[in-house]
């Protein structure tokens, strides 16, 4: 008997309706569309005006149910990766359970910032591989706008709100599912990207509010240097240690923090950019949501197909970073939902426009 | 390859500029079309190619091709 593996058997995502463009930001802080686009690849991001992270997650999971026909009371475990929980406790998982009536589920939140989704995915996969559970829901959701200082141009241009969800189930077919992961953590990086206030170290007070300690602090340059190397190295490592090369990879699904980090990772893996999922232009960095948001959009558009070899990789606060290798098994929808037709059509053209604009010449692998 | 030639080669590749523009007085940002992140990546490339560490306070002072060549020569004890 082959080893029991976990595979993704349903996906869904949600982005709020309100769009905040670079031009809107020009009116709020001293910045420019040109600066933001050339440094990061971001053109616009979504903002949740009313509601919390759980509301983003609930919409993403509802879509997963619509896409798959799975019922709420079939879910056994719910893991929510987020750095913007509705509140410290109860967990966002508990809030979501109540809102969706996931009667049979138990669950918890997982905090690993931008690596949150891949950490949660592998954590969820363990429950399947152990043989103890058959349906584990893994969500990445963040309302970053709740911890962004919209007077700080260093950070406010980067982040957005979104959620993505995947369902894990066992598969006996050794060809498919989650094959391997490589994870790292280096706590010495904590000081370069963090939110100082609100926890037990600096509990909320007039002072923490006055000192803006409830917002993201980031040393962008320091993070950029380690993220470029970290994400590229771990992505290359997982490919090599499975006896594969860039040619065997159908999709790189990188955390969407900065287009320049993404292209550097692709280059290091010898991957053409046509094999890299990119939607940072429309959503910015949505922290735990970036990877499931990509998976869901590309799957709904029929671009991510059964049999595809996929590498997901992320780098984030902690520092935490890592990569997951899987072979996709979920058949595509017979035809794209009408509400996604527009972004499906634009997907390729927008991406190449973006890459062209940054004058990034991806000579590798040709 | 000597340090100067190697530095120039790295700059040509990284910034996609023609070799004749890579003269000692050329500024990465003002003359060679680099932005702030390109200069970060360029220094990272020097670190990798020459097997050295460049502290941030040094990196900030490397603004021209000549700065880079002099810094690396000094660092590698060939000044
Ligand atoms: C954030 C990031 C785009 C900034 O780019 P950078 O080139 O490092 O920018 P710096 O912070 O060095 O700032 C360079 C200049 O641009 C300015 N600047 C910063 N943000 C700006 C903005 N939005 N608009 C205009 N100018 C801006 C700075 O004030 C600075 O000006 P100065 O030289 O006059 O002081 C980049 O560092 C980055 O992407 N880092 C990684 C972030 C990341 O991935 N984080 C998440 C990991 S999960």
Among residues A345, A193, A343, A362, the alpha carbon closest in space to that of A281 is found at A343
Question: Measured from the CB, is residue B36 less than 6 Å from ligand 1?
Answer: yes
Tokens linked to B45: 């490339």
- Please indicate, yes or no, whether residues A208 and A137 belong to a single structural domain of this protein: no
A341: pLDDT confidence band, cut at 50, 70 and 90? confident
- Please indicate, yes or no, whether residues A139 and A234 belong to a single structural domain of this protein: no
**Which chain B residue has the Cα nearest residue A259?**
B37
User: Could you list the residue range(s) of the whole structural domain that residue A91 is in?
Assistant: 5-171
- Please indicate, yes or no, whether residues A305 and A355 belong to a single structural domain of this protein: yes
pLDDT exceeds cutoff 70 at A360: no
pLDDT at A366: 26
Q: What mean pLDDT is predicted for residues B34-49?
A: 91
- Please indicate, yes or no, whether residues A152 and A22 belong to a single structural domain of this protein: yes
Q: What mean pLDDT is predicted for residues A215-233?
A: 94
pLDDT at A138: 98
- Please indicate, yes or no, whether residues A140 and A221 belong to a single structural domain of this protein: no
Terminal Cα distance for chain A, rounded: 41
pLDDT at A339: 78
Q: Are A348 and A204 in contact (CB under 8 A)?
A: no
- Please indicate, yes or no, whether residues A239 and A99 belong to a single structural domain of this protein: no
Distance between CA A287 and CA A83 in Å, rounded? 8
Instruction: Pick the catalytic residue from B35, B38, B56, B67.
Output: B35
Structure confidence by residue, pLDDT tens digits, B15-37: 989 899 999 999 999 999 899 89
User: Residues 6 or more apart from A363 whose CB is under 8 A from it?
Assistant: none
In a domain, B53, yes or no: yes
ipTM of the shown complex:
0.84
Q: Which of A171, A186, A206 is the last residue of a domain?
A: A171
pLDDT exceeds cutoff 50 at A9: yes
A344: pLDDT confidence band, cut at 50, 70 and 90? confident
**How are beta strands A136-143 and A77-81 bridged, if at all?**
parallel
Distance between CA A33 and CA A21 in Å, rounded? 8
**Which chain A residue has the Cα nearest residue B54?**
A225
Q: Are A274 and A102 in contact (CB under 8 A)?
A: no
Instruction: Give the ranges where chain A is alpha helix by DSSP (H).
Output: 22-26, 33-40, 53-68, 92-100, 116-129, 153-156, 206-210, 220-241, 259-269, 280-283, 290-300, 341-357
Average pLDDT, chain A: 93
* Among the partner residues A221, A359, A361, nearest to B40 by beta-carbon distance: A221
| Chain A residues touching B36 at Cβ < 8 A | 39, 221
Tokens linked to A47: 């903002």
Range with top average pLDDT, A77-81, A269-273, B63-67: A77-81
- Please indicate, yes or no, whether residues A199 and A344 belong to a single structural domain of this protein: yes
CATH code of the domain covering residue A208: 3.40.47.10
Among residues B20, B1, B10, B73, the alpha carbon closest in space to that of B41 is found at B10
A365: pLDDT confidence band, cut at 50, 70 and 90? very low
B31 is catalytic: no
Q: Which of A171, A199, A220 is the last residue of a domain?
A: A171
pLDDT exceeds cutoff 90 at A43: yes
Bridge partners (DSSP) of residue A142 are A162
Interface test mutation site (partner B, options A34, A224, A268, max chain B beta carbons within 10 A): A224
In a domain, B3, yes or no: yes
DSSP string, A140-162: EEEEGGGS--TT-HHHHTTB-EE
CATH code of the domain covering residue B66: 1.10.1200.10
Q: Are A55 and A95 in contact (CB under 8 A)?
A: no
Tokens linked to B3: 């340090």
pLDDT at A159: 98
Greater confidence (A168 vs A341) lies with A168
Tokens linked to A63: 């879509």
Q: Which helix (H) or strand (E) holds A336?
A: none
CA A34 to chain CA centroid, Å, is: 25
Domain count along chain A: 2
- Please indicate, yes or no, whether residues A25 and A73 belong to a single structural domain of this protein: yes
- Please indicate, yes or no, whether residues A113 and A245 belong to a single structural domain of this protein: no
A39 CA to centre of ligand 1 in angstroms: 8
pLDDT at A124: 98
pLDDT at B79: 59
Distance between CA A303 and CA A149 in Å, rounded? 36
- Please indicate, yes or no, whether residues A190 and A155 belong to a single structural domain of this protein: no
pLDDT at A1: 46
- Please indicate, yes or no, whether residues A99 and A36 belong to a single structural domain of this protein: yes
Average pLDDT, chain B: 89
Kindly report which listed range (A12-26, A157-171, A204-218, B20-34) carries the lowest average pLDDT score: B20-34
Domain count along chain B: 1
CA A221 to chain CA centroid, Å, is: 21
User: Could you list the residue range(s) of the whole structural domain that residue B28 is in?
Assistant: 1-11+23-74
Distance between CA B52 and CA B27 in Å, rounded? 22
pLDDT at A357: 73
**Residue reference for tokens 């240097």:** A225
pLDDT at A363: 36
Backbone torsions φ then ψ of A133, nearest 5 degrees:
-140, 155
- Please indicate, yes or no, whether residues A211 and A347 belong to a single structural domain of this protein: yes
| Chain A residues touching B16 at Cβ < 8 A | 359, 361
Distance between CA A18 and CA A158 in Å, rounded? 16
Distance between CA A270 and CA A277 in Å, rounded? 15
């Amino acid at each position: 008997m082959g080893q029991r593996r976990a595979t993704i058997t349903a996906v869904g995502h949600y982005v709020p309706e309100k769009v905040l463009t670079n031009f809107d930001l020009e009116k709020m802080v001293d910045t420019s569309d040109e600066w933001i686009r050339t440094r990061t690849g971001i053109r616009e991001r979504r903002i949740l005006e009313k509601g919390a992270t759980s509301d983003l997650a609930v919409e993403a999971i509802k879509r997963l149910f619509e896409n798959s026909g799975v019922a709420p009371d079939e879910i056994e475990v719910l893991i929510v990766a987020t750095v913007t929980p509705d509140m410290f406790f109860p967990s966002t998982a508990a809030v979501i359970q109540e809102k969706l009536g996931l009667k049979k589920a138990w669950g918890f939140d997982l905090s690993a910032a931008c690596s949150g989704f891949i950490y949660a995915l592998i954590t969820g996969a363990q429950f399947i591989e152990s043989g103890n559970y058959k349906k584990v829901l893994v969500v990445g959701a963040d309302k970053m706008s709740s911890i962004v200082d919209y007077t700080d141009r260093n950070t406010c241009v980067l982040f957005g709100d979104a959620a993505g969800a995947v369902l894990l189930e066992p598969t006996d077919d050794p060809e498919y599912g989650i094959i391997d992961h490589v994870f790292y953590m280096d706590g010495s990086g904590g000081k370069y990207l963090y939110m100082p206030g609100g926890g037990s170290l600096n509990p909320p007070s007039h002072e923490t509010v006055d000192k803006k300690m409830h917002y993201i602090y980031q040393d962008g340059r320091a993070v950029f240097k380690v993220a470029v190397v970290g994400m590229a190295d771990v992505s290359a490592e997982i490919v090599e240690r499975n006896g594969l090369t860039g040619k065997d990879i159908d999709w790189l699904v990188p955390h969407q923090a900065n287009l320049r980090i993404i292209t550097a990772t692709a280059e290091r893996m010898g991957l053409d950019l046509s094999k890299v999922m990119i939607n940072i232009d429309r959503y910015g960095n949505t922290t735990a949501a970036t990877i499931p948001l990509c998976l869901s959009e590309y799957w709904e558009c029929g671009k991510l197909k059964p049999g595809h070899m996929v590498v997901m990789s992320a780098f984030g606060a902690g520092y935490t970073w890592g990569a997951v290798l899987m072979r996709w098994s979920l058949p595509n929808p017979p035809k794209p939902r009408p509400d996604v037709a527009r972004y499906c059509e634009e997907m390729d053209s927008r991406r190449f426009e973006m890459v062209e604009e940054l004058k990034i010449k991806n000579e590798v692998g040709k | 390859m000597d340090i100067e030639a190697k530095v120039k080669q790295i700059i040509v590749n990284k910034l996609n500029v023609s070799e004749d523009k890579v003269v000692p007085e050329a500024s990465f940002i003002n003359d060679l079309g680099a932005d702030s992140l390109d200069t970060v990546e360029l220094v990272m490339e020097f670190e990798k190619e020459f097997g050295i560490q460049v502290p941030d306070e040094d990196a900030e002072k490397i603004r021209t091709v000549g700065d880079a060549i002099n810094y690396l020569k000094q660092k590698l004890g060939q000044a």
